[in-house]
Structure 1
Amino acid sequence: MSTFPQLALFRPIAVLAVLFIATTLIVSFLQSSSPSSSPPIEAAMSRKSFVLWLHGLGDSGPANEPIRTLFASPELRSARWSFPSAPDAPVSCNHGAVMPSWFDIHEIPVNPESPKNEKGVLEAVQNVHAMIDKEIAAGINPKNIFVCGFSQGGALTLASVLLYPKTLGGGGVFSGWVPFNSSIIERITPEARKTPILWSHGMADSTVPFAAGQAGPPFLEQAGIKCEFKAYPNLGHSISNEELRSLESWISTLLQGSS
């Protein structure tokens, strides 16, 4: 299976090499699998939807920007995308090494029983909510806003959509985990419980093991939130093309429904 390049959660020395490989693989993918002609997007088509992509630990927003070019549907081609970068901070699981991180992670691999850094997660959530608020103030319907993220970004995606007071278009979690305890459910508004979740996880993931992903749907069910969970055999800690195709179909269907 061809896969989207693995985004490492640790080995900070290798971060630059990983980003270089990521760029190389993306270019290769585009050259080999992009359709020869894409449906033209009308210049006058207004950008009525927004996709916020949150990267994993040690990565950056710009390194992930080519992701948007992998989608062919008019709904995603015409959407406004944003790829913010996490601030640099010391990370406990990397022996205090400073790197881009949305919040501190205490141990790798991340299991369902791993320590939760709820304070750091909630601080990061406030920053994501500010980004969402800005788009809504610019005129985008909250139900046309999608937050997606990989690994640490996936955990932040989950926290951000659950704690946003309004119903959003959806949250796409890739190789993520539940970053807080069940007591947080009391803070989820009735409107937020209507936001759908797409959760994708590799069954061969050794960094955020599949068990951490499996803990997601029961948690969401307890909160009364709809979750579509997809397991990918033989996939490690990375994003596959198959996962991205599923995300494209999922968002396009939701956007068409909201129209």
Structure 2
Amino acid sequence: MKNVITAGVSLAEAEKALIMIHGRGAAAQDILSIANYLDVENFALVAPQAAGNTWYPLSFLATPQQNEPYLSNALSLLADVVSDIESNGIVKNNIYFLGFSQGACLTAEFTARNAAKYGGVVIFTGGLIGDTLYTENYKGNFAGTPVFIGTSNPDFHVPVARVTATEEVFKKMGAHVTLKIYENMPHTISQDEIDNANKLVFKK
């Protein structure tokens, strides 16, 4: 059963849509609240809700098989969400993605597996999923899609090395990536990250 919360402009009326993906132990409503600080006044906001508030049970650095079938189900749900948005007449280059922590990892993994010219991608503390990078899964071309990645050095959940490796994959796939690494930032979303997302991705 697909559980998706929407806010902002209705999909039927909006020209742009932002898919917002919550972190482990959080809820769709939590990530939607971040939209209050983003330049997305005219966007449809779409926040899928994970069953049990988690997209997959183990670390994102576990082997993908260890996180199945949850990982495949989560990726499939995002594909359905994108399809629903497109069925309302919103084209891919007006579809944006934003995720935090586990949601940021899922955002990175989904967009890399389905690369296209999107409106933009925001990855708040996250990276591509797996015990190693399974680059054979990453298809398509971002064609200049703006991508902002913010993370802490160190971060208890997300090693900086995986974040920089994710940056490289996205660049090779044609994304225009800005990575900012913050020293000893708590596992949260900072004001500077919000400012960068607005300046680089949600620019009016």
TM category (shorter chain) comes to 0.7 to 0.9
Counterpart residue number, 2:134: 183
Preserved contact between residue 121 and residue 201 of structure 2 (Cα < 8 Å): no
Give distance in 2, aligned partners of 1:165 and 1:216. 13
Counterpart residue number, 2:101: 151
User: Which of 116, 120, 129 matches 2:79?
Assistant: 129
The Cα of 1:200 is off from its aligned counterpart by 0.8
Preserved contact between residue 171 and residue 198 of structure 1 (Cα < 8 Å): yes
Unaligned runs of 5+ in 1: 1-45, 89-99
Preserved contact between residue 121 and residue 179 of structure 1 (Cα < 8 Å): no
**Structure that is richer in strand per residue:** 2
Preserved contact between residue 172 and residue 198 of structure 1 (Cα < 8 Å): yes
Counterpart residue number, 1:93: none
Give distance in 1, aligned partners of 2:162 and 2:37. 28
The Cα of 1:184 is off from its aligned counterpart by 3.5
Question: CA RMSD, aligned part only?
Answer: 2.3
% same residue: 20
- State TM-score, norm by structure 1: 0.65
The Cα of 1:222 is off from its aligned counterpart by 4.5
Q: Structure 1: which 4+ aligned runs deviate by more than 4 Å?
A: none
Preserved contact between residue 28 and residue 47 of structure 2 (Cα < 8 Å): yes
Preserved contact between residue 149 and residue 180 of structure 2 (Cα < 8 Å): yes
CA-to-aligned-CA distance 1:90-112 (integer Å, 9 cap, x gap): xxxxxxxxxx1112214xxx6xx
Structure 2 CA distance for partners of 1:65 and 1:252, relative to 1, 3 Å: closer
Structure 2 CA distance for partners of 1:103 and 1:202, relative to 1, 3 Å: same
The Cα of 1:64 is off from its aligned counterpart by 2.5
Structure 2 CA distance for partners of 1:194 and 1:185, relative to 1, 3 Å: farther
Structure 1 residue matching 2:123: 3-state secondary structure: strand
Aligned residue pairs total 188
CA-to-aligned-CA distance 1:20-65 (integer Å, 9 cap, x gap): xxxxxxxxxxxxxxxxxxxxxxxxxx52111111111011011232
- Is 1:117 the counterpart of 2:64? The answer is yes
- Is 1:205 the counterpart of 2:155? The answer is yes
Counterpart residue number, 2:182: 232
Preserved contact between residue 19 and residue 45 of structure 2 (Cα < 8 Å): yes
Structure 1 residue matching 2:134: 3-state secondary structure: helix
- Is 1:56 the counterpart of 2:7? The answer is no
Unaligned runs of 5+ in 2: 1-12
Structure 2 residue matching 1:83: 3-state secondary structure: strand
Preserved contact between residue 87 and residue 101 of structure 1 (Cα < 8 Å): yes
Structure 2 CA distance for partners of 1:182 and 1:170, relative to 1, 3 Å: same
Larger radius of gyration: 1
Structure 2 residue matching 1:59: 3-state secondary structure: coil
**Structure that is richer in helix per residue:** 1
- State TM-score, norm by structure 2: 0.81
CA-to-aligned-CA distance 1:110-142 (integer Å, 9 cap, x gap): 6xxx32325443331111011011111101121
Preserved contact between residue 121 and residue 159 of structure 1 (Cα < 8 Å): no
Give distance in 2, aligned partners of 1:193 and 1:163. 14
Structure 2 CA distance for partners of 1:165 and 1:63, relative to 1, 3 Å: closer
The Cα of 1:224 is off from its aligned counterpart by 4.6
